[in-house]
């Protein structure tokens, strides 16, 4: 394909929409939300095939076709935005590229304005991208166009910032609203020179109060690096390649933009806004000094995960990315019972304005781990509030192993209980330090003991389990346990029926030899006694 083909096919391509936009979404890496998109020119020609900008833009620029192409693309974008308005598709601002040649054309601003008005698209839905190289033709001219665009209410982005052309000077002269930093210009290791330059550019932009979008972000490392220096807006293959209009519509419909950036009020000294600010102390703590933590919003029964730190994904141990987690509806991970438990915890946290601890089972699935049932202990606290929406902070702990072990112990205890039942045995655990006694199920069932008996053995004596003539001896046993006796045993008549039981205690000691717990048991001795008498 050569320049002549392009020139020859150009009119028909415009007329028949062989030239059209694809859209590359821009993402807030901190929340995983789609915040905008860039329209990128594509040419799919029945005769020439599929063409990319690097093949035709230089030719269009050389042969003065670029202005018409850009105006055509601008109309396509307005048409798309109009469709979004008409069909109530959630809208994000769309960035449209302008060539430096467009700027030389005195009609440009008027032309885009009349198209936008014809489609009835509010100006805030459109941004225009200007490249640094535009100033080659003369800074004054560009400053003039920028002023005109601003006068009409357009936001203007500086594309490919850092590509050369004395960037700092350009920034000083041109009052752009957004800077697009192309990672492509900083190939190499980010912890070296490239990283220093990017950090400086981002800091400089922050001093000027200009948001930065990192473009061409392909790896998670690049994204994390940008996040670490306070640049959360990302456009690149890591999240999306340029996509078609129907795919963009599908992505837009997936997201509820109302909850994306909640306008929160403060609760006490906790400043919810600080969690959004990349360089606040809270964010630093969130990312580095706490365990697994997340921020989620709660609105009319809907939960939405807004932000998770690295340790959160590690804690889940499922090899899932923050984005995958954020994209998942948390309710879908829980069954009805666990949902209710979690919902109760949320309501309690709202009622009490205090930290609430809750344990729930969830089923997570990831490509590498498949489906996994995990138990999470969450400590949740409300940190921000808008009219009918709340912001929560949650620290999480994966307690699956602990829970499984507990369940295992529980089932072995049940087995033990069944065996005890067969052996006519009663068992209990006595905590020597706190004087608390935990009876076995049979003790509770047959003797009417509660699950936890405080100040043992007094209540058992009062209940008549230990008869008055044995009470002092039994009290003395507990003194001996305190003093560190290892083993005690005797035959005692128990309960009002004065049934003889073989009562035993075995003591457990800590690593310093101090008595910790004593395990008590009482076995019916009728048969034994009878046997003895017989022999």
User: Which residues make up the interface to Mg ion (CB under 5 A)?
Assistant: 97, 129, 159-160, 182, 215
CA 144 to chain centre: 44
Q: Are the CB atoms for 291 and 394 separated by under 8 Å?
A: no
The HSE-up count of residue 60 (CA atoms within 13 Å, CB side) is 27
Q: Is 63 in the site for ligand C2E (CB under 6 A)?
A: no
Specify the DSSP class assigned to residue 267. B
**211, two tokens:** 């948001």
Name which of 129 and 315 has its Cβ closer to ligand C2E.
Answer: 129
What gap in Å lies between CA 75 and CA 69, rounded to an integer?
Answer: 10
Q: Which is it for strands 499-509 and 515-524: parallel, antiparallel or unpaired?
A: antiparallel
Q: Is 242 in the site for ligand C2E (CB under 6 A)?
A: yes
Q: Is 41 in the site for ligand C2E (CB under 6 A)?
A: yes
Report the nearest approach of ligand C2E to the CB of residue 112 (Å).
12
User: Would you state the torsion angle of the CA atoms of residues 403, 409, 411, 416, taken in this order, to the nearest 10 degrees?
Assistant: -170
Task: Give the per-residue contact string, 192-221, with ligand C2E (x = CB under 6 A; - = no).
Answer: -----------------------xxxx---
Taking contact as CB under 6 A, which single stretch among the options 49-57, 360-368, 379-387, 485-493 is the one that binds ligand C2E?
Answer: 49-57
Q: Is 132 in the site for ligand C2E (CB under 6 A)?
A: no
DSSP codes of every residue in 82-128: HHHHHTT-----EEEE--HHHHHSTTHHHHHHHHHHHHT--GGGEEE
Report the nearest approach of Mg ion to the CB of residue 190 (Å).
19
Task: Give the per-residue contact string, 71-110, with ligand C2E (x = CB under 6 A; - = no).
Answer: --x-----------------------xxx-----------
Report the nearest approach of ligand C2E to the CB of residue 24 (Å).
6
Collapsing DSSP to helix, strand or coil, 183 comes out as helix
For 74, phi then psi, to 5°, come to: -60, -40
Q: Is 485 in the site for ligand C2E (CB under 6 A)?
A: no
Q: Environment class of residue 225 by beta-carbon count within 10 Å: exposed (0-12), middle (13-18) or buried (19+)? A: buried
Q: Is 26 in the site for ligand C2E (CB under 6 A)?
A: no
Report the nearest approach of ligand C2E to the CB of residue 41 (Å).
3
Q: Is 237 in the site for ligand C2E (CB under 6 A)?
A: yes
Contacts of 27 (CB under 8 A, 6+ apart): 33, 34, 35, 233, 234, 235, 239, 240
Report the nearest approach of ligand C2E to the CB of residue 168 (Å).
20
Specify the DSSP class assigned to residue 303. E
Among 29, 45, 70, 396, binds ligand C2E (CB under 6 A): 70
Among ligand C2E, Mg ion, none, partner that 52 touches (CB below 5 to 8 angstroms by kind)? ligand C2E
Among 35, 57, 249, 334, binds ligand C2E (CB under 6 A): 57
Among Mg ion, ligand C2E, none, partner that 237 touches (CB below 5 to 8 angstroms by kind)? ligand C2E
Report the nearest approach of ligand C2E to the CB of residue 101 (Å).
8
The answer to whether the Cα torsion of 66, 69, 75, 77 is positive or negative is: negative
Among 25, 32, 236, 278, binds ligand C2E (CB under 6 A): 236
Report the nearest approach of ligand C2E to the CB of residue 100 (Å).
9
Using alpha carbons, select from 434, 412, 426 the residue that is nearest to residue 478. 434
Give the interface with ligand C2E as residue ranges (CB under 6 A): 24, 40-41, 52-54, 57, 66, 70, 73, 97-99, 129, 159-160, 215-218, 236-237, 242
């Amino acid at each position: 394909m050569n320049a002549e083909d392009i020139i020859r096919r150009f009119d028909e391509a415009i007329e028949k929409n062989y030239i059209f936009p694809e859209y590359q979404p821009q993402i807030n890496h901190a929340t995983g939300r789609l915040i905008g998109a860039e329209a990128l020119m594509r040419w799919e020609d029945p005769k020439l095939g599929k063409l990319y900008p690097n093949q035709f833009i230089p030719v269009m620029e050389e042969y003065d076709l670029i202005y018409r192409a850009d105006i055509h693309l601008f109309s396509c974008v307005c048409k798309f935005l109009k469709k979004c308005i008409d069909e109530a598709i959630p809208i994000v601002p769309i960035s449209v590229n302008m060539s430096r040649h467009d700027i030389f054309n005195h009609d440009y601003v008027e032309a885009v304005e009349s198209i936008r008005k014809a489609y009835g698209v509010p100006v805030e839905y459109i941004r225009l991208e200007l490249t640094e190289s535009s100033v080659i033709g003369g800074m004054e001219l560009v400053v003039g166009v920028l002023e005109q665009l601003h006068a009409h209410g357009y936001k203007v982005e500086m594309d490919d910032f850092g590509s050369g052309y004395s960037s700092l000077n350009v920034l000083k002269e041109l009052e752009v609203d957004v800077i697009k930093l192309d990672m492509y210009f900083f190939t190499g290791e980010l912890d070296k020179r490239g990283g220093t330059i990017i950090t400086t550019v981002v800091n400089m932009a922050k001093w000027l109060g200009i948001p930065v979008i990192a473009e061409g972000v392909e790896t998670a490392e690049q994204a994390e690096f940008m996040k670490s220096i306070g640049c959360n807006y990302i456009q690149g293959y890591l999240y999306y390649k340029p996509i078609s209009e129907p795919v963009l519509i599908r992505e837009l419909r997936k997201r509820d933009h109302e909850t994306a950036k909640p306008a929160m009020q403060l609760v006490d000294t906790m400043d919810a806004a600080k969690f959004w600010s990349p360089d606040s102390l809270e964010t630093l703590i969130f990312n580095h000094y706490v365990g697994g933590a997340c921020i989620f919003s709660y609105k009319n029964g809907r939960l939405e995960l807004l932000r998770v730190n690295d340790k959160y994904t590690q804690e889940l141990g499922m090899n899932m990315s923050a984005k995958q987690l954020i994209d998942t509806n948390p309710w879908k991970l829980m069954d009805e019972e666990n949902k209710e438990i979690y919902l109760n915890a949320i309501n309690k946290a709202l009622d009490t304005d205090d930290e609430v601890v809750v344990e729930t089972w969830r089923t997570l699935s990831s490509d590498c781990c498949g489906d996994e049932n995990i138990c999470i202990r969450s400590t949740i606290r409300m940190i921000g509030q808008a009219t009918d929406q709340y912001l929560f902070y949650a620290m999480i702990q994966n307690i699956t192993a602990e829970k499984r072990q507990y369940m295992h112990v529980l089932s072995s205890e049940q087995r033990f209980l069944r065996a005890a039942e067969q052996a006519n045995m009663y068992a209990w655990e006595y905590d020597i330090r706190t004087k608390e006694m935990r009876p076995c199920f049979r003790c509770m069932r047959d003797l009417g003991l509660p699950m936890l008996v405080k100040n043992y053995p007094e209540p058992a004596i009062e209940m008549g389990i230990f008869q008055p003539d044995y009470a002092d001896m039994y009290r003395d046993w507990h003194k001996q346990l305190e003093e560190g006796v290892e083993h005690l045993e005797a035959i005692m008549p128990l309960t009002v029926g004065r049934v003889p039981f073989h009562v035993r205690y075995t003591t457990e000691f800590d690593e310093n030899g101090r008595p910790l717990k004593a395990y008590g048991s009482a076995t019916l001795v009728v048969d034994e006694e009878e046997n003895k008498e017989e022999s």
